[in-house]
């Protein structure tokens, strides 16, 4: 069974984040596909959470159910460490990498609190983009190239 058959929602998403002038913007498409069929064009793949009154914007690519599981976990980590996005992200990545159930989740996250901009991967990586721009999803490389060109 190919990866496309096991994880049909993986392809077709683009999330991009850009920091400029002290502000961060996160944007994404709304397409949800099942295999080769687009089943929804207006999904919200960028969400705002406010654990402990500290707003964090999260964008996700990958399996929607997996992404929501990870967003819930991130929110729990942020409640335990209010205002410490990097710490919460590292704790989430550590759990994601080591937990038998979580390590099978197929999603990626871009998270920002306006100060920090991070990419969290299923391999347990927490990455801070070097040039204040990052993108994930199957269209991520195209979005990244376009954003850097600006």
Express each pLDDT in 6-33 by its tens digit: 545 445 689 999 999 889 999 999 888 7
pLDDT, one tens digit per residue, over 126-135 is 999 988 999 9
| Confidence at residue 102, expressed as pLDDT on a 0 to 100 scale | 78
| Confidence at residue 101, expressed as pLDDT on a 0 to 100 scale | 79
- The full set of domains in the chain, from first to last, is 3-149 (3.60.20.10)
| Confidence at residue 66, expressed as pLDDT on a 0 to 100 scale | 87
The strand ranges marked E within the chain are: 15-20, 23-28, 32-34, 37-40, 46-49, 56-62, 107-112, 117-120, 126-127, 133-136
- In the chain, what percentage of residues exceed pLDDT 90? 53
Which among 13, 14, 112, 134 is annotated as catalytic? 13
Other C-beta atoms closer than 10 Å to the C-beta of 108 total 23
Task: Assess whether pLDDT exceeds 90 at residue 4.
Answer: no
Instruction: Taking residues 52-58, report their average pLDDT.
Output: 92
| Pairwise CA distance, residues 140 & 88, whole Å | 24
Q: What is the pTM of this model?
A: 0.85
Identify whether 69 is a catalytic site residue.
no
pLDDT, one tens digit per residue, over 63-104 is 888 889 899 999 999 999 999 999 999 999 998 888 887 777
């Amino acid at each position: 069974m190919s990866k496309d058959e096991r994880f049909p929602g993986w392809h077709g998403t683009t999330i991009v984040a850009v920091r400029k002038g002290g502000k961060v913007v996160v944007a994404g498409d709304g397409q949800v596909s099942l295999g080769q069929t687009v089943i929804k064009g207006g999904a919200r793949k960028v969400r705002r959470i406010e654990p402990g009154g500290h707003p964090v914007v999260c964008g996700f690519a990958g399996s929607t159910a997996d992404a929501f599981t990870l967003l819930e976990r991130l929110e729990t980590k942020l409640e335990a460490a209010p205002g410490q996005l990097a710490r919460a992200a590292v704790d989430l990545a550590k759990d994601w990498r080591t937990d038998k159930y979580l390590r099978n989740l197929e999603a990626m996250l871009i998270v920002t609190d306006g100060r920090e901009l991070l990419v969290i991967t299923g391999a347990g990586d927490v990455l801070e983009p070097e040039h204040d721009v990052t993108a994930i999803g199957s269209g991520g490389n195209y979005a990244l190239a376009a954003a850097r060109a600006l």
